[in-house]
Amino acid sequence: MSALPAVLILCTGNSARSQMAEGLLRRLAGDKFEVLSAGSDPKGVNPLAIKAMAEIGVDISGQRSKHLREYLGVRPIQHVIVVCSSADESCPRVWPGAFTRTSHFFDDPAAATGTEEERLQKFREVRDQLDAFLTVWVLDQGITAR
1-31 tens-digit pLDDT = 678 999 999 999 999 999 999 999 999 998 9
User: Does pLDDT of 45 surpass 90?
Assistant: yes
Given 8, 9, 10, 11, which residue is catalytic? 11
Single out the catalytic residue among 10, 58, 81, 91. Answer: 91
Q: pTM for the complete prediction?
A: 0.92
Residue ranges covered by each domain of the chain: 6-140
Q: Using an 8 Å Cβ cutoff, are 71 and 97 in contact?
A: no
Average the pLDDT over 116-142 and give the result. 96
Amino acid at 138: V
Q: Please tell me which residue in 8, 28, 84, 126 is annotated as part of the active site.
A: 84
Mean pLDDT value of segment 121-125 = 98
Per-residue pLDDT at 46: 98
Half-sphere exposure of 5 (CA within 13 A, CB side): 14
90 neighbors 12 (Cβ within 8 angstroms): yes
Q: With bands split at pLDDT 50, 70 and 90, how would you rate the model's confidence at 146?
A: low
According to the model, what pLDDT value does residue 2 have? 72
Q: Is 84 a catalytic residue?
A: yes
The fold for domain 6-140 equals Rossmann fold (3.40.50)
Catalytic residue list contains 11: yes
pLDDT at position 9 is 96
Residue 141: count other Cβ atoms within 10 Å of its Cβ: 16
Give the pLDDT score at 72.
Answer: 85
**Does residue 89 surpass a pLDDT of 70?**
no
